[in-house]
Amino acid sequence: MPQPQSRRRCIFSSYRRRLLLAILMPALFLAACADNSASMLTGRGPAAAQINTLWWIMFVVGAIVYLLVMGYLLLALFRRRGDRRGDDDEEEASEPDEGTGIVIWGGAVIPAIILAGIYGATVFTLSALKEPEIPEDLTIEVTGNQFWWDVNYPELGIRTANEIHIPVGQPVAVKLTSEDVIHSFWVPELHGKLDLIPGQVTEFWLEASEPDTYLGECAEFCGVQHAKMQFLVIAQDDEEFLQWVEQQQQPAPEPTDPMIQQGQQIFLGSSCVYCHTVEGTNATGELGPDLTHLASRSTLAAGTIPNNRGNLGGWIVAPQSIKPGSLMPPTQLTGPDLQALLDYLETLE
């Protein structure tokens, strides 16, 4: 009978096309991973390395199971077709219990063994992540705010924002909490995620094996600007880290230049002081990031824009067009006043 034959061929060729599509589709998604600047697959600290190993175990086991199941499925599909094409008089030879073994082994016993193994590996990883190999001797308190990070080093008397400096090769304790809603602290290259919960303190630790700048982000949807709630973890060797500590421990310098003094007056006479702190002045607001060492940071508004004079001016005048929904209102200033204010802010190193 020619008709079903040709219909069959048609199905086969479109099936082949679909198979090709099915293979190519994931490749499209994977293309997004090409820039691995903050990929958890490039674990660069002991905690991330543990998570990485677990990820590969799960990936390889998952891939093997997938390939086996798909192979078995294809086998079944082609076998059926062959059977049907063959002599019609031969009855379907399958006995009612022929597949029972496969259902019991493939559907229950083997999955149970694999899942138990993965569960074991997960529990092992979780307990290995609980504490670093050597105890931490530095604590960092991070408080989540819509949409920025307050960073406090209680033992060192340092307060900063959106930028966490750590000594390389040493674990530091991280204590997390939130001022408003739930956020999540995630530095993919260094550790897993941990929630920041209002009224509660969650704890874990960070350690970077190499000096570098690691991107961190909020991993729990927290409002309109959730996507622009990033931070940097900067791992430095001891000398550089101590230098940074010393610099951050200084109060803001008292200006002597008349232009900068004028800028300071504009700052202290504006609404800025209700929301921002500059150590050593009357500005003690806490609704926004501490600005005492603003000029030493590399980004503004939680990783949204690079910290330079143009962006700083734009941010002060129109924060809502840079980060719509952020909790800083625009400030109207004349050109000369803005320039003087910028001169002052640039001295806050």
Closer of 232 and 252 to Cu ion (Cβ): 232
Backbone phi and psi for residue 217, each to the nearest 5 degrees, phi listed first: -150, 165
228 binds Cu ion (CB under 5 A): no
CA 121 to chain centre: 23
d(CA 189, CA 44): 6
Q: Which amino acid is present at 269?
A: G
Question: Scanning residues 274 to 303, which ones bind ligand HEC (CB under 6 A)?
Answer: 274-276, 287-289, 291, 294, 297, 300-302
Task: Return d(Cα 171, Cα 3) in angstroms, integer.
Answer: 72
On whether the CB atoms of residues 44 and 214 are closer than 8 A, the answer is yes
Which of positions 155-194 make contact with Cu ion (CB under 5 A)?
183
Among 198, 211, 270, 202, CA closest to 241: 211
Q: Is 340 in the site for ligand HEC (CB under 6 A)?
A: no
Q: Would you give the binding string for ligand HEC spanning residues 141-170, x where CB under 6 A is met?
A: ------xx------------xx--------
Size of residue set near Cu ion by CB under 5 A = 4
d(Cα 62, Cα 41) in Å, to the nearest integer?
Answer: 17
252 binding ligand HEC? (CB under 6 A): no
Helices (H), 31-45: none
Site for Cu ion in 200-219 (CB under 5 A): 218
User: At its nearest, how many Å lie between Cu ion and the CB of residue 60?
Assistant: 33
Residues between 305 and 334 with contacts to ligand HEC, criterion CB under 6 A: 312, 315-316, 323, 326-329, 331
The answer to whether the beta carbons of residues 298 and 232 sit under 8 Å apart is yes
Name the binder of 148 from ligand HEC, Cu ion, none, CB < 5-8 A by kind: ligand HEC
DSSP letter at 110 equals H
Write down the least CB distance from residue 271 to ligand HEC, Å. 4
Strand pairing report for 230-236 and 163-167: parallel
Site string for ligand HEC, 111-140 (x = CB under 6 A): ------------------------------
Report yes or no: 215 and 44 within 8 Å, Cβ to Cβ.
no
Positions in 189-228 near ligand HEC (CB under 6 A): 225
Q: Are 215 and 38 in contact (CB under 8 A)?
A: yes
Alpha-carbon distance 275 to 238, whole Å? 33
Which residue's CB is nearer to ligand HEC, number 112 or number 287? 287
Contact at 8 Å (CB) between 303 and 231? yes
- 208 contact choice in Cu ion, ligand HEC, none (CB below 5 to 8 Å, kind-dependent): none
Judging by DSSP bridges, how do beta strands 230-236 and 212-218 pair with one another?
antiparallel
Residue 39 binding ligand HEC, by CB under 6 A: no
Total interface residues for ligand HEC by CB under 6 A: 29
Question: Which residues in this chain contact Cu ion in the complex, by CB under 5 A?
Answer: 183, 218, 222, 229
Question: Which residues in this chain contact ligand HEC in the complex, by CB under 6 A?
Answer: 147-148, 161-162, 225, 270-272, 274-276, 287-289, 291, 294, 297, 300-302, 312, 315-316, 323, 326-329, 331
